[in-house]
Every structure is written in C-alpha cells, then in structure tokens.
C-alpha cells in the first residue's frame, strides 16, 4: 500500500492524474483501490470492478479532496466537450457512491444494527 499522492498537483489531465495515483494500490478508508487492475477491494475482501468513468470521477475527487467539486467540473472532466445531460453526470456520482457503500440505504441499515 502506498500513501496518497499529494493533492496539490494542479494538472487536471486524466493521464497525469492516473500516472500519479496508479503506481501502487492505495487505501482510502476501508477500501483498497487498484487503478491498474480497475478494482476496489472491501475490508471483507470483496473485489469490485470499477468502470472507466468511475475511475475518472474518483481521480478528480481524490485530486480535489480538499475543495468543492461542482457537478459542472465533474461533467467536464468525465465527458469533456461531449454533450451529456446532468442525469448522466449524476449517475456517475451514484455509481461511485454505490461502489464505496455510500448510499442512504447502507447508512440507515448501519444505524439500525
């Protein structure tokens, strides 16, 4: 496992960010992310596949972890100048949240237990 790369990198180029973050698997909370294998491993050992668009979104959020990232910023980073409506961008956020068990359903279940 490796430390998180410094988030002060100013580059918003996907390839530069991928190079910065993909040298080794990284741990974020209870999850291990391997960008090269395109997987996320949970603390229980479950291996989940991560899609290219989810990787793009995750790279952006990791790089901008100390600042606000707007829906517009996400849209530009994932889709560039390609037209997509806001629902496509919101869907990518939802996919990533599910990948990391960050859903209202999961939160409510953990409160009940």
Burial of 86 per CB tally in 10 Å (0-12, 13-18, 19+): exposed
Q: Which of 1-5, 39-43, 66-70, 93-97 has the lowest mean pLDDT?
A: 1-5
pLDDT at 75: 86
What is the pLDDT confidence band of residue 46, given thresholds at 50, 70 and 90?
Answer: very high
pLDDT at 78: 85
CA distance 27 to 34: 9
Task: Report pLDDT for 105.
Answer: 59
Q: Record the pTM.
A: 0.70
- Enumerate domains of the chain plus CATH numbers: 14-102 (1.10.10.10)
C-alpha distances in Å from residue 108, one per residue of 43, 100, 102, 111: 20, 15, 11, 5
With a cut of 60, say whether residue 26 has pLDDT above it.
Answer: yes
What pLDDT score was predicted for residue 99? 92
The 26-28 sheet, strands edge to edge = 26-28, 31-34, 39-41, 47-49
Cα R_g (the chain), whole angstroms: 14
Dist CA 92 CA 57 (whole Å): 7
* Residue 60 backbone dihedrals phi, psi, to 5 degrees: -65, -45
CA 52 to chain CA centroid, Å, is: 10
Q: 7 versus 59: which is more confidently predicted? A: 59
pLDDT in tens, 64-88: 888 999 988 888 888 888 877 888 8
CB contact at 8 A, 93 and 75:
no
Find how far residue 73's CA is from the centre of its chain. 14
Q: Please tell me the predicted confidence (pLDDT) of residue 14.
A: 64
Residue 100 reports pLDDT greater than 90: yes
């Amino acid at each position: 496992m490796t430390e998180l790369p410094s988030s002060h990198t100013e580059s918003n180029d996907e390839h530069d960010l991928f190079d910065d973050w993909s040298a080794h698997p990284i741990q974020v909370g209870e999850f291990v992310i391997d960008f090269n294998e395109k997987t996320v491993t949970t603390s229980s050992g479950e291996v989940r596949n991560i899609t290219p668009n989810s990787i793009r979104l995750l790279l952006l959020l990791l790089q901008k972890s100390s600042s606000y990232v707007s829906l517009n910023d996400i849209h530009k980073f994932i889709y560039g100048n390609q037209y997509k409506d806001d629902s496509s961008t919101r869907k990518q956020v939802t996919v990533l949240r599910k990948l990391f068990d960050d859903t209202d359903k999961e939160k409510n279940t953990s409160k009940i237990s």
